[in-house]
Structure 1
């Protein structure tokens, strides 16, 4: 296993599988599940090896036999939190399939709001992330795109979905901390924007786009759906140019 990257060995359970002797009473899966439950309840900042050990009724040293550091624990959490993707509906076209997929990613990650705080350090490599990657690629199976083209489409879609999730979490937290900043945004800009220098912004303000908002609803998917369909419009054009 030495030729495999350490994070791959960890996420695929190959480290535990390589150990000899009786089956341990504590497993990497137990530790990961407890950490996710703790993060769901109290936020990512609450997760530590000691707190997870306490939740499991074990010593901290018992956890280190399976997970060497908090960074490793976060890697495991970021893959396991995705769970298994819902199967794509039978007989749908690629656009419906990718819309279904993106909506399911959004729904799944909203159950684990801390997920947005974990840095993305590379392409999908764990079993959870790869299951979702495979499902999205499968939605493009009948498009005629090359395998490279399919990967490009899905990676772009992943960037959009994850970006929207992180943005919505940050904006929701910002609104909770200082709702006045959101409600006064348009009024403040109207006082400082020079129409000659920023004419396009001035037209947006005149149209009332930034008028006061009473609430910020993180579960309102209108903006997400709008951006998603714009992205898929671009994919449709790419498929037409490439496969016609």
Structure 2
């Protein structure tokens, strides 16, 4: 039987090269032609291993994440909070990850490993399987949203820190009509926007949002136990 020539690249090579391009220049720079050039191959050679750019993006989205770290000892709340912060840290290493379209539930090896880790954090709770999945998917949505907003705000803060503190409060006082937006006007009058913003405020906002999420899960668990 005649053996075919062994390919010089495979899907893993293509994915690694695409990630290297995204790390250096952003996701917009990734194309099949660009990745082929990085590998020293013809563009059509890539299509023997990766069917389309969409498939490449899916492979990149899975490979870009680190392996989930071991969960610490503790109760479900401590373990799940640790997991959420680990997801945030992994995303922040590669902000372009958030630009990859999500077309379905997790199927890649690393994505499933993160999914498994979160489900393990909920072991010992009275939640049924469907509720556990709902908690994990809801928390993932929260983390992704906070990461997207946090990274965007962090860039804006670096460019113009003053726009996030008293300057913002002053602008709101000029823009907001208390008769049309009484709730916003009440917050402005409280002075919450009259202090200078700090770089750590985004992290504090994440922690507060995570605390509220955990409180909601805890209340649901308490109702089930009752």
- Give the TM-score, by structure 2 length: 0.89
Q: How many equivalent pairs are there? A: 223
> Which residue is 1:208 aligned to?
191
Partner residue of 1:108? 90
Structure 1 stretches lacking a partner, 5+ long? 1-19
Deviates further, 119-128 or 33-42: 119-128
Matched with 1:4 is none
Task: Give the whole-Å Cα distance in 1 for the aligned partners of 2:69 and 2:4.
Answer: 37
Moved over 3 A (4+): 20-23, 172-184, 211-218
Match of 1:63 in 2: 46
Please give the residue correspondences for 1:218-233 in structure 2 after superposition, counting only pairs within 5 Å: 220-233=202-215
| Cα contact 2:76–2:125 (8 A) shared by 1 | yes
Q: Which moved more, 1:94-103 or 1:162-171?
A: 162-171
Tell me the CA shift for residue 203 of structure 1: 2.1
Deviation at 1:92, TM superposition (A): 1.4
Structure 2 equivalent of residue 3 of structure 1: none
1:186 aligns with 2:169: yes
- Give the 3-state SS of the residue equivalent to 2:91 in structure 1: helix
Residue correspondence of structure 1 range 39-50 to structure 2 within 5 A: 39-50=22-33
1:156 to 134, 138, 141: 138
Provide the C-alpha distance between the structure 1 equivalents of 2:191 and 2:17, rounded to a whole number of angstroms.
47
Tell whether the 8 Å contact from 2:84 to 2:143 is kept in structure 1 after alignment. yes
Distance in 1 (alpha carbons) for counterparts of 2:197 and 2:203? 17
1:1-244 equivalent positions in 2, closer than 5 A: 23-89=6-72, 91-175=73-157, 182=164, 184-211=167-194, 213=196, 220-244=202-226
Do the aligned partners of 1:28 and 1:67 also contact (CA within 8 Å) in 2?
yes
d(CA) in 1 for partners of 2:169, 2:206: 22
Moved more, 168-177 or 155-164: 168-177
Point out where structure 2 has 5 or more consecutive residues left out of the alignment.
Answer: none
Moved more, 226-235 or 42-51: 42-51
C-alpha distance in 2 between matches for 1:212 and 1:45: 37
CA contact (8 A) 2:162 2:196 kept: no
C-alpha displacement at 1:199, in angstroms? 2.2
The 8 Å contact of residues 94 and 140 in structure 1, kept in 2 or not, is answered as: yes
Q: Kindly indicate whether the alpha-carbon contact (under 8 Å) linking 1:185 and 1:212 is maintained by their aligned counterparts in 2.
A: no
TM-score when normalising by structure 1: 0.83
Change (3 A) 1:212 1:60: farther
The superposition leaves residues 12-67 of structure 1 with CA deviations (integer Å, 9 ceiling, x where unpaired) of xxxxxxxx956532111111111112111111111111211122222212211111
C-alpha RMSD of the superposition: 2.2
